[in-house]
Amino acid sequence: MVVEDDEDLRIAVATQLRAAGLEVRTAGDLAGAEEALQAAPCDCVVFDRMLPDGDSMNYVHTRRQREWRTPVLFLTARDTLADRVAGFEHGADDYLVKPFAMAELTERVLNLCQRSGIERPPVLSHSDLVMDCARREVRRAGVLLTLSNKEFAVLEYLLTRPGQAVGRAELMEHCWDALTDPMSNVVEAVVKRLRRKLREPELIQTVRGFGYRLGLS
């Protein structure tokens, strides 16, 4: 999850992390972060230090006292040694000073996700489809497929919910950024390309008026 009150930066960071294959939720303040964390756990949280409703360092410190162990990275313009030490003392696992390189942020977040302790299968499979998440490889009936980042993200999301109907809006939320027009046909376009690349028999089934599910168990 990315917690950042600067909307442009929040969208840019979320977009970069999604392009790296991560599922990303966002919040603009501590209240939104708390609501999201109560709803579902995360592998890692990226916090801007100063948010409209408080200092995220104090928020993390309070949660740490309640045995919260999710890895945290602070993004901040505060670059003194004292600031960095205070961040770690209050529960940070990593600390990155603004301005920063997106590539460096991505690698730091990926490393923290691996340390999160939330088990995630390295390989997802369904019928004769196999996705190696670490290698970012997808094979059907043993044949290696070439997928775009968005195709990979949509297929991975469906694979984590085998047999379940996944709504179009849910796919939009988890695989695209907030700038994407919800009325556009981007989901349909990606699913169409995926179906073509996956070939017959068809794995991705349409749930009329709702979204999609994986079939052919």
Give me the count of residues in the chain: 217
Contact 52, 43 (CB under 8 A): no
Q: What residue type is 153 in one-letter code?
A: A
DSSP 33: H
- Farthest CA pair distance, the chain: 60
Would the pLDDT of 122 be above 90? no
Cα 91 from Cα 66, distance rounded (Å): 12
Domain 123-214 has CATH 1.10.10.10: yes
For residues 149 and 140, which has the higher predicted lDDT (pLDDT)? Answer: 140
Contact 1, 33 (CB under 8 A): yes
Q: What is the pTM of this model?
A: 0.56
- Quick one: pLDDT at residue 82? 85
Low-confidence winner among 10-14, 73-77, 91-95, 174-178 (lowest mean pLDDT): 174-178
The segment(s) of the chain belonging to CATH 1.10.10.10 are 123-214
**What is the CATH number that goes with domain 2-114?**
3.40.50.2300
Cα 172 from Cα 177, distance rounded (Å): 8
% of the chain beyond a pLDDT of 90: 40
β-pairing, 2-3 vs 129-132, is unpaired
Give me the mean pLDDT over the 16-28 stretch. 88
DSSP secondary structure letters along 28-64: SSHHHHHHHHHHS--S-EEEESEETTEEHHHHHHHHH
**DSSP-based three-state secondary structure for 172:** helix
The segment(s) of the chain belonging to CATH 3.40.50.2300 are 2-114
What average pLDDT is seen over the chain?
87
